[in-house]
Structure 1
Amino acid sequence: MILKPCDGCTRWRARPRARPRLLLQASARWLLLGVALLLVGCGPGSEQRVLALRGATMGTTYSLQIVEPPAGLDRDALAQQVSTQLSDINGLMSTYQPTSELSRFNASSVTDWFLVSPELVAVVGAAQAVSEASAGAFDITVGPLVNLWGFGPTLTADVLPSAAELQAARARVGWQQLDVQLQPPALRKARPDLYVDLSAIAKGYAVDRVAALIESVGVDNYLVEIGGELRGRGINGRGEPWQIAIERPETSKRAMFRVVALRDIGMATSGDYRNFFEVDGARYSHTIDPATGRPVGHRLASVTVLADQAMEADAWATALLVLGPERGFELAERLGLAAFFIEHAQDAPGEESFVTQATTAFNRLSTAP
């Protein structure tokens, strides 16, 4: 089974420009589900009852797999609860809904404290913590640069930004220009035109919230997935840990690279091999380095992160991708992050080849049975 991002993913992901040479699937983040998950609830040896829920949210899709649901669990009632919760999160954190809490903060020109919900403060606070730990490689204010390079919601022609345009956009970017206050919950801009986009962390947060919801009704074994971000607990329909396959990071085809067993943990993958454009033979990816204002230029193809919270995995996958194979791996190892790096091999003849690095924590957590 392959999780493919839908066209609507552009509501929460940077949308690329329409161009004939662009190779993409609306979002650069997606995962392959391994054989064990594909066989959930069917075939020989699959004895447990599985409840599946699916729907649309945040410009993408969500899916739930619940193994041996508690007796008396009302499927329709649970589906409504999940839908309502996701709608509420969208109403707080979407940048495409003008009336969302985040959109109203972005539209405000005041530089005083702006009262928001505790949920929004929690997500922004988590993002700021990753920004600090990664020395700004993760930055939820990078939107003006993403838009300038043509990966935002406005379709533009294949024209590289000028030095003056880059300078103007970079002035609006910087996680340290955003303050967070817990009590009362509020956000504050250092400049009126600061713009916050939670695309690289909000879906992970939503996965965690849905997981908490279904645990609250007595579910012990489940897999929650939203737009490629996942959280698994317990066992799948075959009585095994949930098994997820990391994609081989090639632009021309989809294939599995390595299987990961999810045991009470969240997972997210970021990659640069499906969302990019080329000008005069040079490739420009959708991942922008806030330090330079330009697309990253290293050989790192994808990063997969495992963490207790899907929100944390979501943010760190982006941060490490920005940092690249050397700095990213060194930081992940030093912080004890469970991360798997896939890097393009240098001067590889013929078929694309890759080299990999896995942190100590990743090897400990990811071994499939």
Structure 2
Amino acid sequence: MRSLFFGVARILGTDGGGWPRKDAKNLCLGALLALLAACGGEPQDLRLEGRTMGTRWHLTVPGGAAAGEALQAAIDAELEAVNASMSTWLEDSEISRFNRLPAGATMTVSPSFAAVLEAALAIGRTSGGAYDVTVAPLVDLWGFGPEGPRDGIPDSAAVAETRYRVGQSKLDWNPDSRRLGKRAPVSLDFSSIAKGYAVDRVAGLLEARGLANYLVEIGGEMRVAGRSPRSDAWRVAVERPQAGARAVARGIALSDGAIATSGDYRNFFTVGEVRYSHMIDPRTGAPVTHDVVSVTVIHKSCMVADGWATALAVLGREAALEVADEAGLAVYLLAREGDGFKEYSSPAFAPYLAGSSEE
């Protein structure tokens, strides 16, 4: 069986393998998601890949070889549309145009932009502010943004000034008219949710074309449906953090749903004996200090799983499990304990643990 690593995901037994992002979720390589597929597969299986959002996308459709070239072009077009709307790296994207608006100004956004914004704001409210799509200035301040590491740590005055430019409550949003404005000089960054949304867009395209069995993955966020090339459930594995190696913590069989992971164990810096994670808590303006290493979320929507993985990783173990229980979220997390790690999960995750393996 061949293995191939890319970004935060590994696909085993398939051919082929972010959008550079400013937020905590992107900067972390996170807990590894792996597809444990069959060796090879029948010749008629379709496997496509390409580049998007600073990473790669991959698609496997058992028995779908006839779709071929036309499907590749259609997927690229879908992903290009997401980029044109939500990439902060494109000066003329919708999100970039909004970010350039002065405080007090408004603009009408597209239905797709509105859908992602609505999901992000809902996660922000339900998480008590642990998730916030305006957090990018704080991520930059702590040296985890595109400009790279800073000298030392920011002082309290710099944090306070930057926090003035953060907070989804400073957005002025009317979902009926899709008019979006800002009450303060805030900016949006959908990096922690746009990959998941793009996965859902591709999945919708596949289903509209009558394809019931597939795996689509973008930079580690993935969604599956139906059966794998082995004619059974798709098998996904969550990584166990291990210095200098990739190890599987838990195997999961998944037939229909999406999975996303966020974590903090590969992107951090230390000053003296203090460890500073790239996971920034918007409520405090500082890196998180709890023991959570990674959070994996399974949901019918990859967009929702993507956003919640970040939110729960910021919240910490006890709060994350409490919120997951109240919201009915299927969540699996790893936390540091002594020299190792301990696993925890929400009640909704129990069906995925049944019959799972650490092999």
Answer whether TM exceeds 0.5 for this pair: yes
Pick from 39, 47, 71 the counterpart of residue 78 of structure 1.
Answer: 71
Contact 1:15 1:153 in 2 (8 A): no
Q: Which amino acid aligns with 1:98?
A: E
Pick from 1, 4, 7 the counterpart of residue 6 of structure 2.
Answer: 4
Aligned twin of 1:153: 146
Aligned twin of 2:86: 93
Contact 1:144 1:172 in 2 (8 A): yes
Aligned twin of 2:341: 354
CA distance in structure 2 between the aligned counterparts of 1:90 and 1:27, rounded to whole angstroms: 21
Matched pairs, number: 345
1:68 lines up with 2:63 in the alignment? yes
1:343 lines up with 2:335 in the alignment? yes
Question: Residue 13 and residue 222 in structure 1: after superposition, are their counterparts in 2 closer, same or farther (change >3 A)?
Answer: farther
Question: Residue 134 and residue 88 in structure 1: after superposition, are their counterparts in 2 closer, same or farther (change >3 A)?
Answer: same
Question: Residue 299 and residue 281 in structure 1: after superposition, are their counterparts in 2 closer, same or farther (change >3 A)?
Answer: same
Aligned twin of 1:21: none
Q: CA deviation at 1:175?
A: 1.4
Q: 1:92-125: CA deviations, max 9, x gaps?
A: 0001111111001001114233111111011011
Aligned twin of 1:143: 136
Contact 1:50 1:67 in 2 (8 A): yes
- Equivalent residues in 2 for 1:1-369 (5 A)? 1-5=3-7, 9=18, 11-14=20-23, 27-29=28-30, 31-35=32-36, 37=37, 39-41=39-41, 47=42, 49-69=44-64, 73-191=66-184, 193-345=185-337, 347-348=338-339, 353-367=340-354
Q: CA deviation at 1:340?
A: 0.2
Return the TM-score normalized by structure 2: 0.91
Q: Which secondary structure does the structure 2 equivalent of 1:147 belong to? A: helix
Q: Which amino acid aligns with 1:198?
A: F
Contact 2:28 2:264 in 1 (8 A): no
User: Over aligned residues, Cα RMSD in angstroms?
Assistant: 2.0
Question: Residue 237 and residue 155 in structure 1: after superposition, are their counterparts in 2 closer, same or farther (change >3 A)?
Answer: same
Q: 1:66-100: CA deviations, max 9, x gaps?
A: 01228xx4311110010011011001000111111
Question: Residue 185 and residue 135 in structure 1: after superposition, are their counterparts in 2 closer, same or farther (change >3 A)?
Answer: same
CA distance in structure 2 between the aligned counterparts of 1:293 and 1:15, rounded to whole angstroms: 12
Contact 2:21 2:146 in 1 (8 A): no
Contact 1:250 1:273 in 2 (8 A): no
Contact 1:125 1:180 in 2 (8 A): no
Q: 1:283-303: CA deviations, max 9, x gaps?
A: 111110111110000010000
Q: Which secondary structure does the structure 1 equivalent of 2:46 belong to? A: strand
Q: 1:291-335: CA deviations, max 9, x gaps?
A: 111000001000000001000000110111001011111111121
CA distance in structure 2 between the aligned counterparts of 1:368 and 1:77, rounded to whole angstroms: 39
Q: Which amino acid aligns with 1:130?
A: I
Q: CA deviation at 1:13?
A: 4.6
Contact 1:67 1:221 in 2 (8 A): yes
Contact 2:335 2:341 in 1 (8 A): yes
Gaps of 5+ in 1: 17-24, 42-46
Contact 2:28 2:262 in 1 (8 A): no
CA distance in structure 1 between the aligned counterparts of 2:355 and 2:91, rounded to whole angstroms: 44
Contact 2:58 2:217 in 1 (8 A): yes
Q: CA deviation at 1:278?
A: 1.2
Q: CA deviation at 1:5?
A: 1.2
Question: Residue 343 and residue 214 in structure 1: after superposition, are their counterparts in 2 closer, same or farther (change >3 A)?
Answer: same
CA distance in structure 1 between the aligned counterparts of 2:172 and 2:253, rounded to whole angstroms: 38
Q: Which amino acid aligns with 1:178?
A: L
Contact 1:2 1:31 in 2 (8 A): no
Contact 1:341 1:358 in 2 (8 A): yes
Question: Residue 34 and residue 120 in structure 1: after superposition, are their counterparts in 2 closer, same or farther (change >3 A)?
Answer: closer
Return the TM-score normalized by structure 1: 0.89
Identity of aligned residues (%): 42
Q: CA deviation at 1:368?
A: 5.1
Question: Residue 151 and residue 304 in structure 1: after superposition, are their counterparts in 2 closer, same or farther (change >3 A)?
Answer: same
Q: Which amino acid aligns with 1:12?
A: R
